[in-house]
Amino acid sequence: MREKAKALGGNDPQCDPAYAWEAGFDHFNVCVLTIDQCQHIIDSALDAAGCQPVTVYQGPSCRYSWCMPVLRRICMQGPSRKGRGGMNVATVLHEVAHQITYDAYGNSVQDHGPTWLAVFRKLLIEHGVMTEKEFRLTARPFGLKWRNLTKTPRLP
């Protein structure tokens, strides 16, 4: 997906640093959830943000997880033979953060920019993936910037 965004001329300067930061956490890349559990986390996060539901499905192990906000679709990368993949809480929250950000701000923000990262950060903390202090200490060395949101954006 990153290569496709770059080829299309996307302006997402935090994309590579965000993925590099996430790659440093082994548990961000291991399948430990079922697709039904992924759906439940996504539904709960969208409901809390006042967003409409999305279609969630499991993709093949050789692909990335992704979100197409305009089509309201989230695809979670299925497990490989070694258990690697995207069906874990952190990756689920990464993808649903794209949908929440799009629902709240439309196409006016970068895919992995400060607004999206603020939503993702809030979800990671709310779901106990990491603390605020852990987030700051690990994200800053990658040059990541985020807005200061006191809560996940709620749609009118």
Backbone phi and psi for residue 75, each to the nearest 5 degrees, phi listed first: -115, 125
Please tell me the class of the 12-142 domain: alpha beta
> pTM score, two decimals?
0.89
pLDDT in tens, 98-134: 999 999 999 999 999 999 999 999 999 999 999 999 9
Instruction: Give the list of residues 6+ apart from residue 68 with CB closer than 8 angstroms, or none.
Output: 74
Range 87-103 burial, b when 16+ CB lie within 10 A, else e: bbbbbbbbbbbbbbbbb
Instruction: Quick: pLDDT tens for 141-150.
Output: 999 999 987 6
